[in-house]
Structure 1
């Protein structure tokens, strides 16, 4: 190794030692509380083709003001809607099976698992308000420069799966949260090794963490995160919120990241995600499992 290469290699801190003294089982089942419109039991998703037809006569709206796209082809304006791109991604993965039986567990929603690590009296009181305001921030971001029909459907499909378990998660380190998340996803039994030779073989120990993004990364909220979300303010003019929200960030844990002794990047399996960027990050992680370590290296 050249001297220059050695300088660029950064030591990686050791893992949480409690993972040895208090190991995590290979699989884990948690009680999950789902929040958001996508958690409704009477939720009925609309096919994208049906929404596209309605969108042809549906204006692009910027918080109540219609957008005008002069001299831009209609298909281009529709296909470039971020909310539509999200719906296309969600619909594409609805019926994908990674099981040898080809059994499909249709999931028409999008969102992330959220692990809670603070169980103080203050945090427990604030959690419902914190999640409610986070969902409101996501709704506002979806309606930013998107046709209403796409934004509404994308929001209807959104949910956060919150995991509260004081005995397991109280004051848990990010290493422990990552391993608990991996145990949770492994326990869902989403993936079977290929029966025949294929390009999916040899992908390593994280190959059970299959797309979409909810199976590959999760959020973790401690007391400071919960307080930040609970105290979010919303302006009458939502355009004023975005410069503020850009600095309101939460830890997104990369479930596939594995610790090595040295690394040539600063990335340590955590990305700090703005509260209003869930739409974008969900699409990016779903389509590219390495995006957090690569393009979004903080």
Structure 2
């Protein structure tokens, strides 16, 4: 993991993409931390994965009980069709907006899942995603990051809400039959310079680096719809995954919101300039640095 040193006798620093304080749900906020803090969290995540895998082999418990005791939610997604399975785009590929047909297909699955969901899961959505004040989202996501993604370290009330949202997302994943290309922005800490050139990207977010999302992550299918897409104070991640749940619209209102589950891990596949379709402009395009993440 690359790191920088602020002063000769200071510990090396790295950018923690979930370590800052968020003001809204749609972005992540980063801060610079000592490299050994990140290493400690990496160790906790590895230990949690080992324990979860061992627990899965315990036939003395029901699957529901094993899932309740897991640190992170199980991946229940799959894409059987080669036609509907996608890969990360080529670096120079034009990032088009999600078509109306694609929005409708995802909305059909979303509505079917929501219609079947119990009232407790709808309450979890309201608590974490729908309330105008994102205070609960901010508090719970911060607790998840401090716990390296382990929901068992949260208090019981928060754990219950988190796991209800987990189960709703998993219900969508079971119904879903296609890959999703999604984007999320990370606001840089004030201590980090603007990212205008490739060499400005934080050293621990370059090709081959491992990136963890301990928190729930609100993404967009459209790059131009991603808050911070036109800012040098934000990094933009691009991912292709079968995970998560579409919460966007199917009509003429442009909203391609997609919630990724907590506890995901990626590897940086590339860092390069990428062209993309601009909002409301026929033939209009922009270009920005995009960090491509490959799911592990």
TM exceeding 0.5 = no
Structure with greater Cα Rg: 1
TM-score tier by shorter-chain length is under 0.3
Say which structure, 1 or 2, has more relative contact order (CA 8 Å, 6+ apart). 1
The structure with the greater share of residues assigned to helix is 1
TM-score under structure 2 length normalisation: 0.26
Report which of the two has the higher share of strand.
Answer: 2
TM-score, structure 1 as length reference: 0.25
